[in-house]
Structure 1
Amino acid sequence: MQWQDIVREFVTLFVVIDPVGSIPVFMYATAAIPARLHRSFALRAVLVAAIVLGVFLVGGQLLLEAIGLRLGTFQIAGGIVLFLFALSMIFGESKADSEIKEAETEDLSGAVFPLAIPSIASPGALLAIVILTDNHANAVAEQALTGAVLAVVLLLTFVLLLMAGRIQRLIGHTGVSVVSRVMGLILATVAVDAVLEGLEQMGVLALSASPS
């Protein structure tokens, strides 16, 4: 594998995992969790995402081929889930309102959903891993190198999530509430685009756009 191939895979995985896009999700998911647990929250999320992506790296292609699943269905399902989460970010209770209830919790289940899945280990990331490690086109050594590139991207994701905690403390509770709602709107747009892309891959949009 050439250096340009490694760079291409890095860029591909960085875009589909989108560590920067996971920052507002992290801030929202940790709104009611003590700051001392944010590092554990981020670490758990990245580890869970790494396990899920690792499973797809090893056996994702075999699974998809075995059940005859079309790639577009991943895009549609992931888009719907992200859209529902985006609605909760936009219309849900703000951080300031939640503090009135003194509702701090040590529950880290939010590290799995929605941060690890589907924010970090997104449907697009799962599909990208399957494509980049095509068993019919890539040797085992090349697939292992793709796994190493994936590990680097996940490490960068962890670092950015730790920085997100500092951003949260810097801008304050009101700032977090405003950013959460703005990012929720952006996330909703991304989710709709994912659904449309999935429909296009499955030929649904082309079919509906054709003259009757």
Structure 2
Amino acid sequence: MAFDLSVYTATAITLIVIMDPPGQVPVFLSLVGRRSPEYRTKAAWQAPLVSLLVISIFAVGGRAILGYLHIGIPALQGAGGLLLLLVALQLLTGMGDSPVDHASDDVNVALVPLGTPLLAGPGAIAAVIVAVSEGHGDVGAYLAIAAAILTAHIVVAVALYYSTTLIRVLKVGGITLLAKIAGLLLAAIAVQLIATSVIGFAATA
């Protein structure tokens, strides 16, 4: 029943490394840099909140959900990779400028792609499912995992919130450059996810 500090530390570090708060900053700025300050502030806490909700759902019933739908982790990785690749191509080619920069408020980039699959991606979901499965019914371990999930998302929220101050320095030209860099990084992440997915399918074949 005692709070398991080792489980908390291991899970929190794993999630923070996978979610990569500093690495999310260029993508975040490229997507919300030309929006209003109010929208940027709102997105900075909405994206981690969406991710927290998604990861919490998978922490509680991840194996049951995937099992019921007959979905494996490789399929989840492949789907996330394809979605990220589409976003990356929009950022690289400029085809996404209009929807990103001038979209109405009902198009919320804090939900997709920021909240998921960038933050609540296949890696984070798989890590949480594995951590919960290794808890073996220990309440202390489950509490530690819950605290670790919350801690990781607080770190992400702080990183995104304070990244909005960079917009004053970067201006429009800097944000455009960031969009290209972020697109390249996202494309690499997407290809890696797809490759990992293919390897996973091959290993289970």
TM-score by length of 1: 0.85
Matches within 5 A, 1:130-149: 130-134=129-133, 137-149=136-148
Whole-Å separation in 2 of the counterparts to 1:117 and 1:64: 17
Residues matched between the structures, number:
201
Whole-Å separation in 2 of the counterparts to 1:75 and 1:202: 11
1:186 alignment counterpart: 185
Is the 8 Å Cα contact of residues 48 and 115 (structure 2) preserved in structure 1?
yes
5+ unaligned residues in a row in structure 2: which ranges? none
Shift of residue 39, structure 1, vs aligned partner: 1.4
1:26-83 CA-to-partner distances (Å, cap 9, x unmatched) read 1122134201221112111111111111111111122123333221111111111111
**Equivalent position amino acid for 2:27 in 1:** V
2:71 alignment counterpart: 69
Whole-Å separation in 2 of the counterparts to 1:60 and 1:103: 36
2:35 alignment counterpart: 33
1:112-159 CA-to-partner distances (Å, cap 9, x unmatched) read 111101111112111111111117735233122111111011001001
Whole-Å separation in 1 of the counterparts to 2:96 and 2:194: 27
1:12 alignment counterpart: 14
| CA 1:104–1:197: 2 relative to 1, 3 Å | closer
5+ unaligned residues in a row in structure 1: which ranges? 208-212
| CA 1:138–1:198: 2 relative to 1, 3 Å | farther
Q: What secondary structure, in the 3-state scheme, does the structure 2 residue paired with 1:203 have?
A: helix
2:160 alignment counterpart: 161
Whole-Å separation in 1 of the counterparts to 2:136 and 2:102: 52
Whole-Å separation in 1 of the counterparts to 2:128 and 2:145: 8
Whole-Å separation in 2 of the counterparts to 1:124 and 1:24: 20
| CA 1:15–1:138: 2 relative to 1, 3 Å | farther
Matches within 5 A, 1:190-201: 190-201=189-200
Is the 8 Å Cα contact of residues 8 and 147 (structure 2) preserved in structure 1?
no
1:150-185 CA-to-partner distances (Å, cap 9, x unmatched) read 101100100100122111221211011111101211
Is the 8 Å Cα contact of residues 42 and 161 (structure 1) preserved in structure 2?
yes
**Equivalent position amino acid for 1:84 in 2:** L
1:85 alignment counterpart: 87
Whole-Å separation in 1 of the counterparts to 2:127 and 2:103: 37
1:112 alignment counterpart: 111
Whole-Å separation in 1 of the counterparts to 2:23 and 2:107: 20
**Equivalent position amino acid for 1:165 in 2:** T
Whole-Å separation in 1 of the counterparts to 2:197 and 2:79: 9
